[in-house]
Amino acid sequence: MKLALKTRLVVAVALLSSCSSLLAALPIPAPPTLNVSSYFVVDANTGKVIAAMDPDKPVEPASLTKLMTAFVVFQALRAEQIQLADLVTISRKARQTEGSRMFVEQGSQVSVENLLQGMIVQSGNDASVALAEHIAGSEEVFAGLMNAYAQELGMVSSHFENATGLPGTRHIASARDLAILARAIIDEFPEYYRWYGQKSFAWGRDPATGDPIEQDNRNKLLWRDSSVDGMKTGYTQAAGYCLVSSAERNDMRLITVVTGAPNENGRFSASQSLLNYGFRFFETRTLYAGGDTVERARVWKGTVDMTSLGVADDVVVTIPRGRANDLQASVTLPSTLQAPLNVQSRVGRLSIVLDGEPVAEATLVALEDVPAGGLWKRMTDSISLWFE
């Protein structure tokens, strides 16, 4: 039999206790007007889109492609198909790949870890091809893996033909898709994400001086803004100047994607403007931590009359700054809860709204076991339920 549902507003201390010192809410102005092909700003924790311009427009991703190259390599590492210490023999194709380079030598052996740093920090096309060949046997087969993962992630406007980002007839991505990919890297591979904030990497030696050849990370925001810790630049003549950036301030992480800026400084200025806009006018709040009690509910035919209901995972929202006091929480439960209940059993829904619009939903679960009561308890509760 389908149970009737009941919904009621709950006074949630978790929504209010951390908000008493907030300033009055600021009006939200329009995002900055930027001279770029497209842009996208998203909260990395919640997926809340903060600002966008032509986010689904297919563009040439240039070296932003290497985010997907790295994602495939990280997947192979997690599956233990390869190891960071594995030595990769550099092919002629890898050595001769045009564009930005790590400067590996044909026939030499370089570890996967060094190739990853050469690709991420130095944007080495040679390193990208070497990694693709090591994992898939050829760059063409590796591109198939890239597209399979893109489809799995929901990157509906993207198609990859190579591991480097050099121009191809159908080598495209969108700002939204690149943000999806950046979020996946940050969320799934925090142990490797640190390389995106690495300011330089040295590989090989200058034949004239014998000194290590050190190249700086092309993402100049790493020097300009201490909250920025990634991710990747890109440039081709057709694509223009592009940048995926990520920054964290006060437990809020934003990802911005800028494509088609007219010059190098333009991509950094545009990204900085978008980061400043997002952090200034929005905030991320953890309303309930996983395991927090949200509601005490009546339970029938059990060993106890009341039980605690809560959320299994953190409930996090992105809202206009200063609006936390205006959030409202409500719970939807079956008209009756009957024992036995097992801990983590799904028993209802928690909804968070702002100005009548939903901002978050979560499943309510039982936070404790409630065994069935004895015969007398079950009989008396059955009689009581007739009068409910």
Q: Give the catalytic positions in this structure.
A: 63, 66, 123
Cis peptide before 340 (omega within 30 of 0): yes
Q: Give the C-alpha distances (Å, rounded to integers) separating 378 from 307, 347, 366, 384.
A: 17, 20, 20, 10
Amino acid letter, 291: G
Q: Edge to edge, what strands does the sheet with 357-366 contain?
A: 5-10, 328-334, 346-354, 357-366, 306-311, 293-298
* 231 Cα distance to chain centroid: 12
Q: Which of 112, 102, 157, 155 is nearest to 133 (CA)?
A: 112
DSSP label of 370: B
> Rounded distance, CA 385 to CA 160, Å?
61
21: left (phi over 0), alpha (psi -120 to 50) or beta: alpha
Number of Cβ within 10 Å of residue 103's Cβ equals 14
Q: Residue 287 in contact with residue 318, Cβ under 8 Å? A: no
Sign (positive or negative) of CA dihedral 144, 118, 186, 157: negative
Helix (DSSP H) and strand (DSSP E) numbers for the chain: 11, 17
> Rounded distance, CA 365 to CA 343, Å?
7
Quote the Cα angle for 302-307-310, to 5°.
140
Sign (positive or negative) of CA dihedral 80, 86, 90, 94: positive
